[in-house]
Amino acid sequence: MRSIDGALAAAGDGEVICFGGGELYAQLIDRADRLEITEIESVLDGDVYVPPIDPSRWSEAERARREGYSWVTYTTH
């Protein structure tokens, strides 16, 4: 596929999972209905970040705390 619209059309009604990078996250976050995010409790150097998660659109549905990070599920309101 050469476009996000083409890839989503090819997926049909099936579940679509995006594993980045940053440009894909930015293009797909407004189309998502669920986010599975790893929140790291340290400041790390990096060049790819998830766009800010807008609390007016997303609610935290589940959080699994681990040593140094949490796996967090967000769903749309």
CATH of the domain at 67: 3.40.430.10
Give the up-direction half-sphere exposure of residue 9: CA atoms within 13 A in the CB hemisphere.
Answer: 6
Q: DSSP code of 30?
A: G
Distance of CA 62 to the CA centre of its chain: 14
Contact 36, 71 (CB under 8 A): yes
- Per residue in 26-66, pLDDT (tens digit) is 899 999 999 999 999 998 888 877 788 999 999 999 999 99
Structure tokens of 19?
């594993």
**Structural domain of 41:** 4-76
Return d(Cα 2, Cα 75) in angstroms, integer. Answer: 28
pTM to 2 decimal places: 0.84
Structure tokens of 58?
């997303």
- Domain count for the chain, please give it: 1
